[in-house]
Amino acid sequence: MGVEAAAIGGGFGDEHIPNVTITVEGRPPVPSGERHEEITDDVISDGYFRVMGVPLLSGRFFSDQDGPHTAPVAIISQKMARQFWPGENPIGRRFHYGVPGENSDWHTVVGVVGDMLRNGLDRRGLSQFYLSHRQKTWALSFYFAVRTASDPLQLAAAVRSEIQSLDKTVWLDHVTTVELWLRELGSQRRFQTSLLSLFAVVALLLAAIGIYGLMHHSVTQRTHEIGIRVALGAQPRDVLGLIVGRGMVLAVIGLGIGLAGALALTRLLSSLLFGVSATDPITFLSVSLLLAAVALLACYLPAWRATKVDPIAALRHE
């Protein structure tokens, strides 16, 4: 069939565990009414992390020894390890999850894996823990994860048929690929980003037109002055430097105000970004250089026109 590996995953749905807190052994319980940041869970089968391409950072994966009659174990994400055991080795430590006051089992951490995108680009970096399907046999929903050596959609019918042959009560209601899933998750963000990019391009064009119009008007108003300078021996490069220099001073002032405003709005923009900081220095530098280049071009054209001024005609200009 071209299937390299397959596994099962399941959990409490697309949202984080409701009204649930994590209690770490040896530490005081979370006060009533206080909750940790969002935490997600998955009930998984053997080979799940291989299928999903998630690396094991320390400890071990689940094994046949982790059964219904052995002590409950869990594998946690790197984010959860840093959140609950900062600067410590979480392997062998225990925690339990549940509604405060509920008598739930303690789970021993046996492995730490890399963080994984689970419920959307705007819910990245959540703490996650994983339970073995041998020890927790139910979940609100299950999904099959399959890694293939060829186009996965071409194998969808064969995979569905194979699952039906194993258990006719199981029905796959939706088949997709990771690429399509990520594209669907990011569709709204891409639309918002495209809209903001369009506004940014329009604003850039308006700014360029505004600078050009201002410098053109300035050159027109100073035609007589420019003629005098040329008559007194000013070279074209001197006139060019004069006009461009004054225009760029205004551009730099505007750029500084714009950067300050952008830094003030970074918290609003952070929810639209993935994989890059809202204060990424490379982005700020690139945009600043682009704006400076556009401003330079807008200043250069009127300045170049000023170098062509006939001093005799300019001296007659009022």
Q: What is the pLDDT of residue 61?
A: 94
Of 192, 180, 53, 35, the closest CA to residue 100 belongs to: 35
283: containing domain: 187-316
Tell me: do 121 and 253 sit in the same domain: no
Tell me: do 117 and 237 sit in the same domain: no
pTM of the model: 0.63
Tell me: do 181 and 200 sit in the same domain: no
d(CA 123, CA 128): 12
The 10s digit of each residue's pLDDT in 215-254 is 878 777 777 777 777 777 778 788 788 888 888 888 888 8
Tell me: do 108 and 177 sit in the same domain: yes
d(CA 290, CA 298): 12
pLDDT: which is higher, 266 or 244: 244
Task: Over range 180-188, report the average pLDDT.
Answer: 74
Q: What is the pLDDT of residue 16?
A: 47
Residue 66 contacts residue 132 (beta carbons within 8 Å)? yes
Judged against a pLDDT cut of 80, whether residue 7 lies above it is answered with yes
The 10s digit of each residue's pLDDT in 279-288 is 778 888 888 8
Q: What is the pLDDT of residue 172?
A: 73
Of 138-142, 167-171, 232-236, the range with the lowest mean pLDDT is: 138-142
Q: Domain boundary at 185, 220, 238, which?
A: 185
Judged against a pLDDT cut of 70, whether residue 58 lies above it is answered with yes
Tell me: do 20 and 164 sit in the same domain: yes
Structural domains counted in the chain: 2
Tell me: do 7 and 146 sit in the same domain: yes
Tell me: do 207 and 178 sit in the same domain: no
Q: Domain boundary at 185, 203, 224, which?
A: 185
pLDDT: which is higher, 255 or 74: 74
- pLDDT, mean over the chain: 79
Q: How confident is the model at residue 14 (pLDDT cuts 50, 70, 90)?
A: very low
Judged against a pLDDT cut of 70, whether residue 120 lies above it is answered with no
Q: Rounded to a whole number, what is the distance in angstroms from the first to the last CA of the chain?
A: 86
Tell me: do 136 and 48 sit in the same domain: yes
Task: Over range 274-279, report the average pLDDT.
Answer: 68
Q: What is the pLDDT of residue 236?
A: 78
Q: Spell out the residues 6+ positions from residue 194 whose beta carbon is closer than 8 angstroms to its own.
A: none
Q: What is the pLDDT of residue 13?
A: 45
Of 23-32, 69-78, 189-198, 248-257, the range with the lowest mean pLDDT is: 23-32
Q: What is the pLDDT of residue 305?
A: 78
Backbone angles phi, psi at 103, to 5 degrees: -90, 90
C-alpha dihedral (199, 205, 206, 209), degrees to nearest 10: 180
Judged against a pLDDT cut of 50, whether residue 185 lies above it is answered with yes
CA distances from 123 to 120, 183, 190 (A): 5, 15, 16
Tell me: do 173 and 112 sit in the same domain: yes
What is the radius of gyration, based on Cα positions, of the chain? 31
Q: How many CA atoms lie within 13 A of 179 on its CB side?
A: 4
Tell me: do 255 and 302 sit in the same domain: yes
Q: Domain boundary at 136, 158, 185, which?
A: 185
Pairing of strands 94-98, 56-59: unpaired
pLDDT: which is higher, 271 or 135: 135
Tell me: do 107 and 238 sit in the same domain: no
Judged against a pLDDT cut of 50, whether residue 139 lies above it is answered with yes
Q: What is the pLDDT of residue 3?
A: 77
Tell me: do 176 and 199 sit in the same domain: no
